[in-house]
Amino acid sequence: MTVLRGLVKTDFKLRYQGSFLGVAWSVLKPLMLFCVMYIVFGKFLRMTDGTPTYPVVLLLGISSWQFVTETVGIGLRSIVDRGDLLRKVHFPNYIVVVSASIGSLISLGINYLVVLIFALFAHVEFTWRVLWLPLNVVELYAISLAIALIFATCYVYFRDISHIWEVLSQLIFYCMPIIYPLSFVIERGGLYARVARLELLNPIAQSIQDIRHNFIAPASQPTIWNTFHSPWAKLFPFALTILLLWFGIYIFRRNSRKFAEVM
């Protein structure tokens, strides 16, 4: 725990070292992206859910996705970046990836406080469902950590993984209902509605939709709980999250002894 605590403090300080605004960038980045996406998709393309809470919902989705990209992007490079330390000090290698993910989790907490302030100004009526929020965040953290562990293992052997993730993250961002409301797609019916339902089987999209539903807008946000009737469909993203986390831990532990040699 001492090593983990020290790495978290160091990683969080180094993340914004040399920048004038420092930690403020953890809030400014999603806010700047929110402004661009809201103007383009909300104002020009009119892709909104028609509710006053849409801007807050959009900001919440962008902040949550920012957490995923930070966790995976920094986590996949963490083993190589800490190669010198791993050769000198003996401790479980997974701590390096976990420390990077906790740093992103701290940024997520700061962003959620900003979302809360926006929600108060927007007169959002909070419900008892906000009590589910910690479990939703745990699920989002678990799937992000799973991907980070898998990619961190691959990055030790193949540096191209970082470039692949940059392209893949952009593709996922525009394919998932983050910048456009899922209800907007469902209302078009037909094939669009079926594709929208399938999107909720993605653990990242499902957890972000649950966060939006429970935190801000339970009346306007479709979730896997109110879209699917089959209990197997409702359990699928959770089972996939557990499976990916198990696989991430397995492949990481199996290769961790070779990291120092390969690097």
Tens digit of each residue's pLDDT, the chain (263 residues): 666 666 666 666 666 555 555 556 666 677 777 777 767 666 666 667 667 788 888 889 989 999 999 999 988 988 887 766 666 666 677 888 888 888 888 888 888 988 888 888 888 888 889 999 999 999 999 999 999 999 999 998 888 888 899 899 988 888 888 888 887 777 777 787 788 888 899 999 999 999 999 998 787 788 888 888 888 989 999 999 999 999 999 999 888 777 766 66
Could you tell me the two tokens for 137? 């965040």
The boundaries of the domain holding residue 248 are 2-262
CA-wise closest residue to 63 among 114, 21, 98, 17: 114
Phi/psi region, residue 22 (left: phi>0; alpha: psi -120 to 50; beta: rest), is left
Angle at alpha carbon of residue 30, lines to 16 and 146, rounded to 5°: 80
Closest to 67 (Cα-Cα) out of 20, 32, 27: 27
Predicted TM-score of the model (pTM): 0.88
CB of 63 within 8 A of CB of 27?
no
Taking every pair of Cα atoms in the chain, the longest distance, rounded to a whole number of angstroms, is 59
Is the backbone of residue 100 left (phi > 0), alpha (psi -120 to 50) or beta? alpha
Pick from 15, 21, 125, 105: nearest CA to 63: 105
- Look at the chain and report how many structural domains it folds into: 1
